[in-house]
A and B are shown apart, each in its own frame.
Chain A
Amino acid sequence: MKQLVKIVRRELLIILKRPVYILASVGVLIVNAVFYITFMKDGLPHDLPIGLVDEDHSSTSRTFARELDGTQLGKVVYYDDIHLAREHMETGRITSFIVIPKGFNADIQAFRQPHISYYVNSLYFVGGALAYKDILTMVNLTNGAVQRQVLRLKGMNEREIMGRIQPIVLDQHQIGNPAVNYGVYLNGVLLPGVLEMIVILITIYAVGSELKYGTSKHLLKTAGGSVEMALLGKLLPYNIIFTVLGIALELLLFHWLKYPLKGHIGWMFLDILLLVSASEALGLFIVELFPVLRLAISVGAIISVLGFSLAGFSLPVEAMPPYVQGFSAVFPLRHYYLFHVQETIWGSGFAGWWQESVHLLLFLFLPFTLIGRLGHAYKYQDYERN
C-alpha cells in the first residue's frame, strides 16, 4: 500500500512536470467536444443552395421558385445559363440545380407535359441527399397543384381533391432521434470515440515513456520489483482522469445538451466506464506487445483511427465485407456503440446490453497475457529506445 502511494505520487509529479498529459487528455477532449457540438449545432442543414435556371419566366415558374425557396431545406440561387450552374454544382458551391424549360407554363396549360430537369451532386453526401429529397417533393407538389386546379374546375370539394392528388400519405417516425438531428447521431458515438483514442494513446505514452527515458528501473524499484504494482500505481491517476472525462462527456451529451435518451443516464455512465477500461487495457496490451514507445504509439494511432469507421455507426458493419465484419469486434468503440443503441434508443436496461458489457470486460484480460514481457522490458531495458 505504501508502495502504491509512492508510485501514484511519482506519477502525479510526472503529470505536473509535463503538461502534455493534461493537454492530450482534458485539452483534446474539450477541443473536440466544442468542435463537433458547435459544428453541427443546427441538427440538420437548412437553406441548402439549390440552383435554378428559369428559362420560362412565367408566373408558374416564379411560383415554383418561391415555394422552393420557402422550404426549410432549400434556398434558391438564380442562374441565367446552364453552364454556370453546372460549373457551380461541380465545384460544390450549389448542391444541385433545376432547369425550368422555355414554354413551361404554356405546356402545362395545354397538357403537353413539359419536362423539369434537375441535377444533383451526390458527392457531397448529406447536402446532396437532402436537396434531392427537397426537389422531389417540390416537383410532386407542382404536379399536385396543377391537378388541383383541374379538379376544382370539375367541382370537386377539397377533401376529395386531396384524396385524388395525394392518395397515400407517409407519416414518418424516427425511433431514437425524432428530429433527425445529425449532431445527436454523430456526436453520441464520435466523442466517445475521441475519448477512446485519448485513452489508448495516453496509456501507451505513459507506460512507454518509462522505457524511452530509461526510468522504468526506477519505477520498478519504487514498486518493490513488482510490475503489476508498478502498472497499477502508474495507471491509477490516469484512470481517475479518464473516468471523470467520461462521466463529464455523458453529462454534457444527455444532461446538458439533452440528447434523446430513452433509458437511464446511470447506464450510460457504466457504458463509458467500460469503454474507458477496455481502451486502457487495449493500450496497455499494445505497449506490452511492442515495448518500444514510438512503435507502440504508431500502432495505437492506427487502431484508434480505424475504430471510428469500424464502430459501424456511419456505414453499418453488415454492409462491410465479411472479413472486415469480424475485425470490428476488436475495437472497444464498436461495443460501446451497440450498448449505446440499446440504452439510448430502446432504454433496454441490462437485458439489452449485457452481452456488450461482457465483451468490453473481456478486454480487461488482454494485458495479463503479456504482462511478463513488459516486466522484462522494464527490468532490462533491452529494446531500442528511439
Chain B
Amino acid sequence: MKGISYLGTWIRDWYKIFVNELRLIFSDSGVIVIFFVGGLLYPVLYNLIYMNGTVDEMDVAVVDNSGGAFSRRFIRKVDATRECNILMFAASMEEAKEMMQKGLVHGIIYIPEDFDARLVRGEQGIISTYADMSSFLYYKCLTMGASLTMLDEMHEIQMERYLASGMDAQAAWQAVQPVLSDESMPYNKPFSYTIFFISAALLLVIQQTMFYGSSLLAGTLREQNRSFASMSKGLQGLGIGRVLLGRGTAYFSIYMVTGTLIALLIPWLFRLPQRGEWTDIMVLLVFFVIDCIFFTFTWSSLITRRETVFVLFLSISPICLFLTGFSWPQTAIPPFWQYVGYIFPSTFGCRAFINLNTAGGSLSLVAPEIKAMTIQTVIYYVLSSISIFIENKVIARKDKIESLKDKALELRGIDPEEARRLIAGD
C-alpha cells in the first residue's frame, strides 16, 4: 500500500511541477520569443539567405595572348561550364587583376603566347588560372570549371592525334580512355551550400534555443532568489527526480512540437532533400530533445542572471556547428576538439540528422549516434541532479543565515524589514 501511495504522491508532484514550468515558460515573453520566434525564424531566415546555394556562372576574365584555335576552343568550353562565365577579354594581366580587385570578375584565365604553337608541335601547353581567394566558393568554381575543361580538351586533343596517326575511332577512343569512370554524388550533386549548411544547422537551432530560453528562465528565477531547486522544499529534498522529470516534460512537450516543425516542415517547405523515413526522424528527435533537456538543465545551473547567457554563450553556437564536422571534416578535427564535441548533443544529433534526412540512411545506421546521445542523457541527468542537490543545500544555508541574522536583529530590538530598507538606501 505504501508503494502505491508513494507513486500517487510522485505523480501528483510531477504533474504540479510540469504545469508550473509550463506556466513559467508561457508567462515569460522573452522565453516565448526565443523558443518560438527564434526557433522557427532562424531556419526560415537561413533558407532565404541560402536560397540559391551555389555560385553558378561566376564571372571570369581571360587574357588570351595566344589567340589560336586551341586557346579559343578552351575558352569557349570554360564559358560553357556551369561554374564559369567568360565576362571579358582583358588586354593584359594588369587589366584583369584590376577587374578582379574591383570585384567584377572572380577568376582569371591566362593563356601564354606559345600555347597554340606548343600544342601544334605535340608538346604540353600551359594555362595559368588565378582565383580570387576572398571566398572559397570562387576558388572552387574556377578550379572546377578549368579542370573539367582541361580534362575534356585533353581527351579531345588526344583523340585528334590518335586519329591523325591513322587509328580508327574505336581504337583511338580505347587508347584515350583505357579506364572509364562513373561518378555518383547521390546527396548533394551540385555541392549546394544550402543543403549542407541547413542540414547541419536545423537540429542545432533546437539545442541552442532551448539552452538560451531555459537559461533565461533559470537566470530570472535566481535573480529573484527562487531557484527552481527551491521548489522541492516541500519534498524535503527528496524530489530531485520529480523536479527534473516534471520540468523536463514541459520542455519535451514544447520541443516535440517545434522540433517536428523544424526537422520535418522546414525541409519540406523549402524543398530540401528529405530522403529519410519521417518515423525514423521522429525517433531521432525524441532522443535528441531529451538529451538537450538535461544538457540544458546541467549547464544552465551556471547562469545566475537573466541576460548573461547571451553575453557569455552566444558564440558557442558557431563553435557547435563546426564541431559537428559539417564543414571541416570530422576526421581532420584535432582530437582535443573531438573530445570537446562530446559535450554537446548537437555533435551527434546533427550528424545523425544529416545521415538520416539528407543521405537517406536508416535508423540502424545512426545507432552509434543514438547510443552516444543516450549515454550523454544519463550523464547529464546525474549532473543536473547533483547541481539541484548542491543548489538546494546552498539555498538552505543562505536561508538559515538570513533567519539567524533576523533573529540577531530582533534580539537587539530592530525590525529586520526596516533594517533591510535602510541598508538598501530607500
Contacts and interface: CB of A to CB of B under 8 A. Distances in A.
Interface of A: 20, 23-24, 28, 31-32, 35-36, 38-42, 45-49, 87, 90-92, 95, 104, 108, 111-129, 132-133, 136, 139-140, 142-143, 146-147, 150, 159-160, 162-177, 180, 182, 185, 190, 194, 197-198, 201-202, 205, 208-209, 212, 293-295, 297-298, 300-302, 304-306, 308-310, 312-316, 319-321, 324, 341-342, 345-346, 348, 352, 386
Contacts, number: 331
Given A121-B359, A314-B193, A315-B53, A115 B181 contact: yes
Interface in B359-377: 359-361, 365-366, 368
Interface in B314-357: 314-315, 317-319, 322, 325-334, 336-337, 351, 354-355
A20 B53 contact: no
Contact of B52 (A28, A175, A212, A320): A320
B166 interface: no
B216 interface: yes
Contacts of B127: 168-171
B128 interface: yes
Top 7 closest A-B pairs, CB basis? A127-B329, A45-B332, A177-B133, A146-B178, A122-B188, A24-B311, A176-B133
Nearest to A205: B311
A342 B175 contact: no
A51 to B, nearest CB: 12
B68 to A, nearest CB: 13
B310 to A, nearest CB: 5
Interface residues of B, number: 112
Interface in B54-108: 54-55, 74, 97, 100-101
B154 interface: yes
Given A92-B354, A146-B178, A122 B334 contact: no
B185 A120 contact: yes
Contacts of B308: 20, 24
Contact of A23 (B100, B138, B153, B312): B312
Given A90-B361, A91-B365, A170 B129 contact: yes
Nearest to A88: B365
A324 B188 CA distance: 24
Contact of B101 (A40, A133, A348): A348
Contacts of A140: 151, 154
Contact of B135 (A39, A90, A201, A314): A314
A126 B334 contact: no
Given A108-B178, A123-B358, A319-B54, 20 more contacts: A31-B315, A35-B322, A38-B334, A91-B361, A92-B325, A108-B179, A111-B175, A113-B180, A114-B179, A115-B181, A123-B354, A125-B193, A128-B185, A129-B191, A167-B125, A167-B154, A169-B127, A176-B134, A201-B311, A293-B307
Given A118-B181, A122-B191, A314-B135, A346 B101 contact: yes
Interface in B115-138: 118-119, 121-138
Contacts of A166: 124, 154
